Structure 1
């Protein structure tokens, strides 16, 4: 990563400046103004090194000294108009590099990279400061209907499958119709819905339609918001739904999906689902290979 991002070069981000100077411009852009002492802390450099670098950037016209609002003897540093232009060029360069690299990854991989880098950065900072990294709050799994659940489930489906599979309005309308119909039958205790909550925001869902033929159930509306991926939320939701199915002793639980959703398929199979049917279909809004997975009930023979 150090090599690919150019940190081994004498200059960075096509600026003609060394990495420490580029980071100084970025920090000043993010924080509006800083003292030299604050820069020492942010960059982790010696005071003498920061002083020399600041002087060179002032001479180059990138930053300027202004009076400290609370101490007339002290100075704060801020970007000049030229420095703001340089900052925009740095941002554009960085964005182009990241976008070009991420274009080689799937949506799920991009999400994993983003979350992984963020977590690693937090851990590195905690190690440097000799502190324990903060423990991320675990998302809550809540059972039952709540206001907005239909619209939120539809939105998560529409957003994800528009990006992943280029599904459009017909798919969104199909999901909306199915969810409205199912939620209208939650008075039957054999039907249930669960959501994953990040505070008050719904970031995942799953439902069981327990009115299938011959005492069977259907797993429906299993979806995660991008912010919830890679955190074990899908496994927790599926575990709740399968526990419910076993408590009701459904003869089997089935679900319909389509070919290409490999991460979801691995999770289904980990909970005992097996592929039993495959066919071409267009109900999703375009031609796909539909797949039916079935999980036997607790008293049934394996399929």
Structure 2
């Protein structure tokens, strides 16, 4: 897609939903306060001790209007001012007990309003809506995955179930795999938990959230199998798959394996590209009509570990 098309789609989204979201704000938050005043109260609740300048700049409020709001709030015993210790020209702002009660009332009204708004939305649609909102928020915030803390660690209690969950969600949502595939994944993971001699399972976390995994299991004394390589699509393209692959290959070298293989399906183009990059070779194909109800091509890929060095 050309860049101008991305820009036009973003502008269309903004046009379509600015009115919707603006109406939500007006309907929910202006009882009994106007929207801007309600936003100021909310900001003061979450950022105790902030200054008028900080609130005004964050919310984009005119200086004169901000001054009138604060004067009204002070007269109505909604806020209290304390001279800032960092700048004697500034005052730190706090909600009074009365202000906190008003904030709680705004929250109750807001919750009732949102509940009414979403009452006709199905649970799957609601889950999809929230995920989309979180993705947009993440991309436009400092929590963008590209700027986040990424760590890879060996699995511990509770992780294996989450690895199965990641497979089930990803392959159902993106590729329409059915419950038989999820059973296949869970069966293998259960067997691994009973006997993982010569193998290891790693999970990758972004800011403490598990977003992917990879594993090595022992086939025989010289041959290993790479399994359960999965990554949340929201975190693809950030080099995480590369880090997982190198973690697994390093482990194979350290264990003295001479060969490693894996099974995948032909429709997983991103994964297949990575396997080629690390010198895996396609060695076998077979059909599979159990997981999606349509014909899939399963592929075996093999790697002679003497052709790949360990990674620092």
Query: Which interval holds the TM-score relative to the shorter structure?
Result: 0.5 to 0.7
- The CA RMSD over aligned residues, in Å, is 5.1
8 A contact 1:206–1:241 mirrored in 2 = yes
2:171 to 161, 177, 182: 161
* Distance change (3 Å), C-alpha of 1:146 and 1:33: closer
- Structure 1 residue 259: deviation in Å? 3.3
* Distance change (3 Å), C-alpha of 1:246 and 1:31: same
* 2:242 paired with 1:235: yes
* Distance change (3 Å), C-alpha of 1:270 and 1:228: same
Deviation track 1:162-181 (CA, whole Å, cap 9, x = no partner) reads 21223343222211111111
* 2:148 paired with 1:136: yes
* Distance change (3 Å), C-alpha of 1:270 and 1:110: farther
1:184 to 194, 217, 226: 194
TM-score (structure 1 length as normaliser): 0.61
Paired position in structure 2 for 1:125: none
SS in 1 for 2:293: coil
Paired position in structure 2 for 1:294: 301
Larger helix proportion of the pair: 2
1:50-129 mapped onto 2 (5 Å cutoff): 50=66, 66-68=76-78, 70=80, 115-119=138-142
SS in 2 for 1:223: strand
Deviation track 1:109-141 (CA, whole Å, cap 9, x = no partner) reads 99876543223899xxxxxxxxxxxx63332x2
SS in 2 for 1:154: helix
2:162 to 138, 152, 172: 152
SS in 2 for 1:119: coil
Paired position in structure 1 for 2:4: none
Give the Cα separation in 1 of the matches to 2:161 and 2:143.
34
- Structure 1 residue 239: deviation in Å? 0.8
8 A contact 1:203–1:224 mirrored in 2 = yes
SS in 2 for 1:294: strand
Deviation track 1:20-43 (CA, whole Å, cap 9, x = no partner) reads x97766565676699993642322
* 2:42 paired with 1:42: no
8 A contact 1:277–1:293 mirrored in 2 = yes
Gaps of 5+ in 1: 123-134
Give the Cα separation in 1 of the matches to 2:192 and 2:44.
50
Paired position in structure 1 for 2:217: 209
Give the Cα separation in 1 of the matches to 2:44 and 2:141.
20
* Distance change (3 Å), C-alpha of 1:137 and 1:70: same
Paired position in structure 2 for 1:253: 260
- Structure 1 residue 225: deviation in Å? 4.3
SS in 2 for 1:299: helix
8 A contact 2:153–2:203 mirrored in 1 = yes
TM-score (structure 2 length as normaliser): 0.60
SS in 1 for 2:141: helix
Aligned residue pairs total 262
8 A contact 2:224–2:259 mirrored in 1 = yes
